Amino acid sequence: MTLLYSRETIAARVQALARVLSRDFVGREPIVIGVLKGAFMFVADLVRALTIPVKIDFIQVASYGSGRTSSGTVQVLTDLRCDIRGQDVVLVDTVLDTGFTLGALRDLLAERQPRTLSTCVLLDKRGQRQVAVQADYVGFTLADGFVVGYGLDHAEAYRHLDSIYLLSPAR
């Protein structure tokens, strides 16, 4: 396991993302929707760095099971509590990998007719994309590799770590 992004590096990048979001949504009160479980830590840090008011909700989906490879299907385990119709929505996930999760969630949320729908990911694994989906706000870009920590797990382990580690370069 090798250190990829330290706690300080993550904090600096999250602050920068929050500055851009605060500027882009100034005068509005978006609903930040975190994708559980992976995004719990990122959402917590991101919203605390914002200078605009937000509402917060979460959605839990299953896309990977306990392994490292995408199943290609996304199942909603716990849906939102908020009604997002007519609202500004910022969908927040930690990793954009194949794109199945963010793509499916974006389509699902779009059907509910929010006023705007933006996507924000901390890590974009650009080399892994199988679905044409791009995030509007991206923290870091990396080619490949399975990462853990800062909310991200492998078989539910490592989520609590405050830094992001490369578990293995290939899978």
User: Which residues here bind Mg ion, judged by CB under 5 A?
Assistant: 64, 153
Shortest distance, position 68 Cβ to ligand IMP, whole Å: 7
CB neighbours (10 Å) of residue 126? 14
CA torsion sign for 99, 74, 152, 28 is positive
The Cα 161–Cα 170 span in angstroms is 21
Residues that bind ligand IMP (CB under 6 A): 35, 38, 63-64, 70, 93, 95-102, 146-148, 152
Which residue number, 88 or 97, has a Cβ lying nearer to ligand IMP? 97
Residue 98 binds: one of ligand IMP, Mg ion, none (C-beta under 5 to 8 A by kind) = ligand IMP
Which residue number, 53 or 67, has a Cβ lying nearer to ligand IMP? 67
Helices 7-24 + 40-49 axis angle, to 10: 60
Residue 122 binds: one of ligand IMP, Mg ion, none (C-beta under 5 to 8 A by kind) = none
Residue 149 binds: one of ligand IMP, Mg ion, none (C-beta under 5 to 8 A by kind) = none
Shortest distance, position 64 Cβ to Mg ion, whole Å: 5
Which residue number, 152 or 161, has a Cβ lying nearer to ligand IMP? 152
Shortest distance, position 62 Cβ to Mg ion, whole Å: 9
Contacts (Cβ under 8 Å, ≥6 apart) of 39: 58, 92, 93, 94, 151
The Cα 119–Cα 131 span in angstroms is 15
* H helix or E strand, kind and range, residue 38: none
The Cα 168–Cα 154 span in angstroms is 11
3-state secondary structure of 41: helix
97: annotated active-site residue: yes
* Residue 139 near residue 123 (C-beta atoms within 8 A): yes
User: Which of 45, 88, 93, 97 is an active site residue?
Assistant: 97
Which residue number, 21 or 121, has a Cβ lying nearer to ligand IMP? 121
Q: Which residues are catalytic?
A: 97
